[in-house]
């Protein structure tokens, strides 16, 4: 009886060691094949403007300053001029997250896949834009494609999901971009969803708004940009990770 118990214990021990080694091998194989989870990269740490400069410029424009840990636009830019880009890295598929607040009646935007060159005077001529604007107090009537959270002049934000705050209050925004699906989030709610370069996208792209900008939306990789469209706007916690 004791001899049988001894052999049983030995067999169990062998099986245990064998299973442990197999699990270890499977874990190692999985780790080798599994891509590393991308870490968040802060584009602005609240202390300095490293990586940021003017669009088509070598320096940061004077209309962008640091104020109480935020990156602030002084609102001296207009339809052309005053916009900035983060040029340390280009991004293709990504998740961008940030917080912002805008002055009453203000207008701004977030660009991605920005390309520069003498043929361009502003990021909006080639880069998609997540619209930032004061829906409540903007001095002129707004079309849906111009309103907060829209993919500017392409996809309006879903009004059933959109949470609109008063000017001067902090908002959170996210852009999730892949070639299969794009999502815009505003204050914790998904407000825009579309497939880039799809038939529907191309039909919208063919509208009169973009007839003078043949390069709009064609680039699949580029810089992140922020717009000074003539009003105060503050940004903080600007971070991104590649997907």
Q: Which residues pair with 70 in a beta bridge?
A: 67
Report the C-alpha gap between 3 and 10 in whole angstroms: 11
Q: What average pLDDT does the structure give for the chain?
A: 88
And the tokens for 148? 């907060």
The yes-or-no verdict on residue 104 having pLDDT over 80 is: yes
Percent residues over pLDDT 90 in the chain: 79
In the block, which residue shows the tokens 């989030």? Answer: 185
pTM of this prediction? 0.84
- Residue in 124, 131, 75 with CA at minimum distance from that of residue 103: 75
Q: Is 64 exposed, middle or buried (0-12, 13-18, 19+ CB in 10 A)?
A: buried
pLDDT at 75: 86
Q: Can you give the residue ranges of every domain in the chain?
A: 1-34, 41-242
pLDDT tens for each residue of 52-83: 999 999 999 999 999 999 999 998 876 666 89
If you average pLDDT over residues 7-20, what whole number do you get?
49
Q: Are strands 233-242 and 70-73 parallel, antiparallel or unpaired?
A: antiparallel
pLDDT tens for each residue of 143-182: 999 999 999 999 999 999 999 999 999 999 999 999 999 9
- Reported in sequence order, the residue ranges of 41-140 that DSSP labels E, i.e. its strands, are 41-44, 52-54, 64-67, 70-73, 84-91, 94-102, 107-114, 129-133
pLDDT at 208: 87
pLDDT at 80: 65
User: C-alpha angle 58/223/155, rounded to 5°?
Assistant: 135
pLDDT tens for each residue of 36-55: 556 999 999 999 999 999 99
pLDDT at 79: 63
Cβ 64 vs Cβ 230: under 8 Å: no
The yes-or-no verdict on residue 24 having pLDDT over 60 is: no
The yes-or-no verdict on residue 85 having pLDDT over 90 is: yes
* Statement: 41-242 belongs to CATH 2.60.120.560: yes
DSSP 104: T
The yes-or-no verdict on residue 5 having pLDDT over 70 is: no
């Amino acid at each position: 009886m004791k001899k049988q118990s001894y052999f049983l214990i030995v067999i169990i021990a062998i099986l245990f060691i064998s299973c442990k080694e197999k699990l270890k091998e499977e874990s190692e194989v999985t780790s080798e094949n599994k891509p590393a989870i991308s870490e968040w990269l802060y584009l602005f740490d609240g202390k300095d403007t490293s990586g940021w400069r003017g669009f088509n410029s070598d320096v940061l424009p004077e209309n962008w300053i640091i104020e109480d840990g935020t990156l602030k636009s002084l609102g001296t830019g207009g339809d052309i001029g005053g916009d900035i880009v983060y040029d340390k890295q280009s991004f293709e598929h990504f998740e961008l997250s940030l917080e912002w607040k805008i002055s009453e009646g203000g207008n701004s935007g977030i660009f991605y896949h920005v390309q520069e060159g003498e043929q361009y005077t502003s990021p909006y001529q080639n880069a998609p834009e997540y619209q930032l604007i004061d829906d409540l107090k903007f001095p002129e009537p707004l079309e849906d494609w111009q309103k907060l959270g829209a993919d500017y002049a392409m996809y309006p934000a879903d009004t059933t999901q959109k949470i609109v705050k008063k000017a001067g209050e902090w908002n959170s925004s996210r852009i999730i971009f892949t070639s299969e699906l794009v999502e815009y989030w505003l204050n914790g709610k998904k407000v825009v969803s579309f497939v880039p370069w799809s038939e529907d996208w191309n039909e919208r792209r063919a509208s009169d708004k973009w007839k003078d900008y043949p390069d709009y939306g064609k680039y699949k990789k580029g810089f992140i940009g922020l717009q000074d469209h003539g009003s105060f706007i503050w940004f903080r916690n600007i971070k991104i990770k590649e997907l």
